[in-house]
Amino acid sequence: MAKKKRDKREVGVMFVDIARFLDATRTWGDEDVAEFLQDFYMDMGDVLTEHGGRIIKYMGDALMAVFEPDHVDDAVRCAEALHESFGTFTRDRNLNLGLSIGLHLDEVILGGFGHSSCEIHDVLGKGVMLAGLICGEGTRISDRAYDRLTTKMDTTRSEMEASWLPGPVTVHTIPMAAQAGTKPVRRF
């Protein structure tokens, strides 16, 4: 069996998840959910690629993307644009949904994984797990990603813990206006 090509390198890992999705769609048929998610994937994918992100995979009502490590500012601008686009997306459909985004910068393993009948390109590592952990309604970025921003902004700092982490992780929440689809407040 040939060894799969994999690289270990630093990237910005972003999780994007629809908040309150199950509550909003519990009465929908499978076709309606599938059509909505396809539209969501296309809308979010356009925004991500415009800002230098690369989608790695879709996971139901969520997706994972990566950014080059020296493009953390682009990733934060992308998060702002994702919220704005999603606000329009949900208003057009008369839905009360939010967007949860988590961004972490870390060394991960990128490459091919899985059985030959279902090989996928993926990103694995504790950095991916941490990006998923900090993903919460609005936009949250890890301290490591925040330190790489060239343009700092006001954030609310908090700490999160998980059994697999050696200690608490500092998370920066970018302030959002009360309604989905509005841009974070940037103060320079």
- Boundaries of every domain in the chain: 6-174
Triad 111, 115, 116: Cα angle to 5°: 90
Report residue 123: phi and psi, to 5°.
-130, 125
Measured over the CA atoms of residue 61, residue 144, residue 187 and residue 51, the dihedral's sign is negative
40-82 pLDDT tens trace: 999 999 999 999 999 999 999 999 999 998 999 999 999 999 9
Answer yes or no: are the C-beta atoms of 64 and 123 closer than 8 Å. Answer: yes
Triad 77, 78, 80: Cα angle to 5°: 65
Answer yes or no: are the C-beta atoms of 58 and 41 closer than 8 Å. Answer: yes
Mean pLDDT of the residues in the chain: 88
Answer yes or no: are the C-beta atoms of 12 and 71 closer than 8 Å. Answer: yes
What is the reported pLDDT for 164?
87
Which architecture does CATH list for 6-174? Answer: 2-Layer Sandwich (3.30)
The one-letter amino acid at 86: F
Number of other CB atoms surrounding residue 60 within 10 Å:
11
**Percent over 70 (pLDDT), the chain:** 91
Sequence-distant (6+) residues with CB within 8 A of 15 are 62, 63, 64, 100, 101, 102, 131, 132, 135
78-127 pLDDT tens trace: 999 999 999 999 999 999 999 999 999 999 999 988 887 887 889 999 99
Which pLDDT band holds residue 188 (cuts at 50, 70, 90)? Answer: very low
B/e letters for 27-49, b = 16+ CB within 10 Å, e = fewer, are eeeeeeeeebbeebeeebbebbe
What is the reported pLDDT for 187?
31
Bridge partners of residue 50, in order along the sequence = none
Among 79, 85, 156, 114, residue whose Cα is nearest residue 1? 114
| Calpha distance 81→33 (Å, rounded) | 24
